[in-house]
Copies of this chain bind each other. A is one copy, B any other.
Amino acid sequence: MTITQLQYVLAVAEHQNFTLAAQKSFVTQPTLSMQIQKLEDELEIQIFDRSKKPIQLTEIGKKIVEQARNIVNESGRMQDIVDQQKGFIGGEFKLGIIPTIMPTLLPMFLKTFIKKYPKVNLKIEELTTETIIKRLNEGHLDAAIAATPLGYEQIKERVLYYEPFVGYITENHRLYHKKELETSDLDIDDILLLEDGHCFRDGVINLCKTPRAITDDHFQLESGSFETLIKLSNEDLGMTLLPYLHTLDIKESERKYLRHFAEPRPAREVSLLFHKSELKMQIIEALRGVIMGIVRGAIAFHNVEIISPVQS
């Protein structure tokens, strides 16, 4: 049994197709077929059920894949150990970010990060939370930034900051004349929300359970942009909640519609996610350090109470 064979198995398990898996592994299809057969012969089991199309894992195959992933991960960590010892922070690093965090957070830390760690070859992708989890489990992402808590067994979460929501309320709304909002003011049917996991923290109001928040009788919204929400809100279709950082670049003419909350402020928890195998942990820690530093900076220059990073 070789590590290479295990990598081939993982590739086939993932793509459910020998030819494609071979391409992704940068070998020809016969190479991959033969190596997998060799492994199957050695273990005296069938890993894949080739009669089904697309190819399926056998029962035992699923366990083999799980263990193979484990071994391949642990092998990958060998280089991590060396890097860590050398104090080397570098190499390819794939980071996923959800759409509602990407435009506000990324510009804040990217420049600082690539300047501080020039040897890291950062590859950033905008992905949904669902895709992020899948990619992290498959090892195609090294880390991700998303709204939490998610509570996946295989994924670790490190809170970066809590981002309060700010109400966006136009003239004709019943709450327009309130100076400060209370969580008790909120009527769930009256708020325009995005689909991804916004959690009002500490269980004040937990909106996690509404995967597609906007399911009014009249319309459904699947856009991922707060711009859309603002526009809809301007059309008097309801109030909306914007994460604080998004409110920083709202047009001057619309700022008058912003209403902050009184304590306890509803907020979304934004965390750095990574696989529990903790591969490339030095880079993850470096990234976390940079972002947390930036967040502390943001507090200094803006409203101290707006962004509250986790104590540590």
A residues with CB within 8 A of B: 1-3, 43-45, 59-60, 63-64, 67-68, 70-71, 74-75, 77-79, 81-82, 85-86
A64 touches B81 (CB 8 A): yes
Once the chains are docked, how many angstroms separate the CA of A59 from the CA of B85? Answer: 9
**Can you list 25 A-B pairs with a CB-CB distance of less than 8 A?**
A1-B78, A2-B2, A2-B3, A3-B3, A43-B78, A43-B79, A43-B82, A44-B82, A45-B85, A59-B85, A60-B81, A60-B82, A60-B85, A63-B81, A63-B85, A64-B78, A64-B81, A67-B74, A67-B77, A68-B78, A70-B74, A71-B71, A71-B74, A71-B75, A74-B74
Copies of the chain in the assembly: 2
With A63-B81, A67-B78 already in contact, 19 other A-B pairs whose C-beta atoms are closer than 8 Å: A1-B3, A1-B75, A2-B2, A2-B3, A3-B3, A43-B78, A43-B79, A44-B82, A59-B85, A60-B81, A60-B82, A64-B81, A64-B82, A67-B77, A67-B81, A68-B78, A71-B74, A71-B75, A71-B78
Q: Cβ of A43: which chain B residues have Cβ within 8 Å of it?
A: 78-79, 82
Once the chains are docked, how many angstroms separate the CA of A294 from the CA of B1? Answer: 39
Q: Cβ of A79: which chain B residues have Cβ within 8 Å of it?
A: 43
Once the chains are docked, how many angstroms separate the CA of A68 from the CA of B82? Answer: 13
Once the chains are docked, how many angstroms separate the CA of A285 from the CA of B44? Answer: 23
Q: Cβ of A77: which chain B residues have Cβ within 8 Å of it?
A: 67
CB distance from A38 to the nearest CB of B (A): 14
Q: Cβ of A59: which chain B residues have Cβ within 8 Å of it?
A: 85
Once the chains are docked, how many angstroms separate the CA of A71 from the CA of B82? Answer: 16
Once the chains are docked, how many angstroms separate the CA of A297 from the CA of B312? Answer: 56
* Max chain B C-beta neighbours (<10 A), residue from A63, A71, A86: A71
Q: Cβ of A63: which chain B residues have Cβ within 8 Å of it?
A: 81, 85
